[in-house]
A and B are shown apart, each in its own frame.
Chain A
Amino acid sequence: MFDIIYDVLINTIIHLTLWVFPLFGLSMGMSNVAGRLQKMISRVFGVRSYMLLFGWPGTLVHELSHTVTGLIFGHKIENFNVYLLGGRNGKAGSVRLRHNPESYYQRLGNFFIAMAPIFGGAAVIYLTAVVLIPDLPAVPAVQSGSIWSFASEMNDYLLALRDTLIQLCKNNLKSTALFLYIAASVGSGMRMSVTDMKKTVPGCFILAGLFLLFHLLRHTIGEKIHIPVVLSESMIHIYTAIIAAMILNLILTAMFFVILKIRSAFSSKSR
């Protein structure tokens, strides 16, 4: 009996460690980098120009991600706002959703709704890359499932992605500019506030409960049930897209930092 409880608990913790905690880590990292990118673009262009040029498309993707995920989980929309030039109190956009607190499904939805802009933004950047970048390297398919093999394949993938981007820049400046514009615009909106983070907590407990139930069922009816391979592969795709988007955002932040420095050097010379 003790062995079963131990096994169920360990497997639940492993699943949470592999599936849920990296999402939290990546979401926090992405939010931080996206915030820096937004700050840097705002310094270069000014806040209103940032909103008009880059802010609103990113905000639209951000709020649409919340809303569409909300609809999937049965939430009702009460309000949907995207401000073209930025609203009052420094707001770029907002969405108000209503759910039934007695429904576990709808409460689980809060976890995914809060994190949706990270997934939605990564998906839009990935789709833009598929459309605009020819010969996009294939996302690594990790067979052994170990963290180190994933890290090694991820490294190879990012190097291949870098080479493809350099090649695209040499061959087709228009596509590169369009891709970088969409990446900067959508990337700067891939942020989660602290309140959004807090909203994921109840859903996280329900998710942990589901994993626990799954492993208990496996012990009861044997090894007949499995987590579908497509789900594990989708997680790898999501991690890869977020990591690639994060690195892209870092590169864009560095680019805007250089533009800012060049501009301030010129303005100090003219004085």
Chain B
Amino acid sequence: MNERLTLSMTFQMDSHEIILIITYFEETLIYIKNNMIKNDPGMVETYSLGFQPQVF
């Protein structure tokens, strides 16, 4: 677990650090999944990302 992974010639990252970043990322997604709420009172806002219309 403690071996160093060489990502580049100049930069080395501890495998723990990579696993930590992935864990934080995964935890955030799990938190979002577990905290989804349906039919709660309040105002809904939808934020969506679309393709540029001129591409299609």
Which residue numbers of A lie inside 8 Å of B, CB to CB? Answer: 35, 38-39, 42-43, 47, 59, 62-64, 66-68, 71, 76-80, 86, 89-101, 110, 113-114, 117, 131-132, 134, 171-172, 174-175, 178, 189, 191, 193, 196, 199
Contact = CB atoms under 8 A, between A and B. Distances in A.
Interface string B20-56: 0000000010001101111011111111111111111
Contacts of A189: 49
B42 A99 contact: yes
A168 to B, nearest CB: 8
A47 B52 CA distance: 11
B54 A78 contact: no
A6 B54 CA distance: 47
Contacts of B37: 76-78, 98
Contacts of A175: 7-11
Contact of A94 (B33, B43, B48, B54): B48
Nearest to B33: A80
B55 A66 contact: no
Interface residues of B, number: 30
A38 B52 contact: yes
B44 A134 contact: no
B36 A79 contact: yes
B48 A80 contact: no
B19 interface: no
A178 B8 CA distance: 10
B29 to A, nearest CB: 8
B45 A93 contact: no
Given A62-B49, A175-B10, A175-B11, A90 B44 contact: no
Nearest to A43: B55
A100 B44 CA distance: 9
Contacts of B50: 89-92, 193
Question: Most chain-A CB neighbours within 10 Å: which of B36, B46, B47, B53?
Answer: B47
B32 A98 contact: no
B50 to A, nearest CB: 5
B54 A39 contact: yes
